[in-house]
Amino acid sequence: MTTYQNAKELTQLTLGKTTAYTTQYSTKLLQGVPRSLNRKDLNLTNKKLPFIGEDVWYGYELSWLNEQGKPIVAVAEFRFPCTSINLVESKSFKLYLNSFNQTKFASWQVVQEILTKDLSDCAVAPVQVTLFKVDNCPALTITKVNANCIDDIDLNVTQYDYQQSLLNGLIVNNNIVEENLVSHLLKSNCLITNQPDWASLYINYRGAKISHQVLLEYLISFRQHNEFHEQCVERIFCDLQQYGQFEQLTVFARYTRRGGLDINPFRSTHLSQAPAQRTLRQ
């Protein structure tokens, strides 16, 4: 398991504790978690990361009151740069968004500006926020997956605890190829509460050809692993790059939503922005 689970920064979170819900806007509900906690475990620093990318969140339960007291509902897209000092802890994010429910705001633009400022302050980096009407959110259109699914490989599986060494034998041969792969079998658990997190994981690489069987066994080993979404994706990226030494590598996880939020970390050697890619799971 990871070495940072008992860090004081985590013990101070509301995650895993009984909390009261407020329906009046409060930015104080937001809690940041330093990205450095798990990056120390991966021997990474913000000054020298092996990837670029972002964390894209979608909020499906955002609502507030207009000046006449009429409820407004929206879908929100939040884009956090992977270079931010903090990630935003998801429970605190949900509590914060719920605090908008009975608060009056003058316009959609005002709500967007408030969200942008508060989240940027918490993450200590510029956060992009876009609000959509619930019947018109192009970013959440279900798209055809242009990737080879590796889930039908016949395996005898015994390892359900994260094991980096399962990637021994990852490289099949030194022929340079480019592949788009996907597995819908990624499951990990919340670092604090042990609640299951489910994801479809997309991998694009250019380099020596890899064993799909080895990759799938490795991904299944996350099944009882405890880490936040963003941390799992960074761990997978770093492990694959260590064993594969790829010319190009992109790892993108589309997690299923919980509590009206989904989190979708995107890490790449050369691409900075996640694609608009969604299946019916999200």
Looking at residue 95, what is its pLDDT?
A: 95
Would 3 be classed as within a structural domain?
no
Six token digits for residue 126 = 């510029």
> In angstroms, rounded to a whole number, what is the distance separating the alpha carbons of residues 206 and 214?
17
Q: What is the pLDDT of residues 51-83, one digit of tens each?
A: 999 999 999 999 999 999 999 999 999 999 999
The string of DSSP codes covering 67-100 is: TTS-EEEEEEEEEEETT-SEEEPHHHHHHHHHTT
Q: Which residues of 7-44 are buried (b: 16+ CB within 10 A; e: fewer)?
A: beebeebebeeeeeebeebeeebbbbbbbbbbbebbeb
- Domain membership of residue 280 (yes or no) is no
Residues 6+ apart with CB under 8 A from 43: none
Residue 128 covered by a domain: yes
In a domain, 275, yes or no: no
CATH code, domain carrying 250 = 3.30.1130.10
264, two tokens? 């979708």
Overall domain count for the chain = 2
Give me the pLDDT at residue 192, please: 85
Q: Which residue has the higher pLDDT, 220 or 17?
A: 220
Domain hosting 221: range is 148-268
Instruction: Using pLDDT thresholds of 50, 70 and 90, give the confidence band for residue 21.
Output: confident
Per-residue pLDDT tens over the stretch 210-252: 999 999 999 999 999 999 999 999 999 999 999 999 999 999 9
Chosen domain end from 107, 140, 173: 140
Cα(2)–Cα(231) distance, rounded to whole angstroms? 10
Are 84 and 165 members of one domain? no
- Domain contains 274: no
- Same structural domain, 113 and 196: no
Instruction: Give the rounded percent of residues in the chain with a pLDDT score beyond 70.
Output: 94
Cβ neighbors of 220 (< 8 A, separation 6 or more) are 155, 157, 159, 160, 185
User: What's the whole-number mean pLDDT along residues 13-34?
Assistant: 82
Same domain as 114, residue 16 = yes
Cβ atoms 97, 58 nearer than 8 A: no
| pTM summary value | 0.93
3-class secondary-structure state, position 28: helix
* Residue 108 · residue 75 · CB < 8 Å: no
Residue 166 lies in a domain: yes
What's the pLDDT at 8? 61
> Which residue type, as a one-letter code, is found at position 153?
I
What pLDDT is recorded for position 47? 78
For residue 221, report the phi and psi dihedrals to the nearest 5 degrees: -70, -10
Same domain, 38 and 120: yes
In a domain, residue 261? The reply is yes
Domain end (from 140, 169, 198):
140
Residues 126 and 212 in one domain: no
**pLDDT above 90: percentage of residues in the chain:** 83
Q: Report the alpha-carbon distance of residue 147 to residue 165 in Å, rounded.
A: 26
> Is the domain of 156 the same as that of 53?
no
My answer on whether 187 and 264 are in the same domain is yes
Q: What is the pLDDT of residue 274?
A: 96
Query: 15 with 117, same domain?
Result: yes
Q: Find the catalytic residue in 55, 118, 197, 239.
A: 197
Whether 33 is covered by a domain: the verdict is yes
Does residue 115 sit in the same domain as residue 191?
no
Name the average pLDDT for the chain: 93
197 is annotated as an active-site residue: yes
Shared-domain flag, residues 188 and 110: no
d(CA 94, CA 104): 18
Six token digits for residue 248 = 């190009």
Q: In terms of domains, do 98 and 210 share one?
A: no
Asked if residue 169 and residue 136 are part of one domain, the reply reads no
Dihedral pair phi/psi, residue 172, rounded to 5°? -85, -50
The SS3 of residue 247 is coil
**Catalytic residue (one of 190, 232, 238, 262):** 190
Strand, coil or helix: 261: strand
Supply the Cα-derived Rg of the chain in whole angstroms: 19
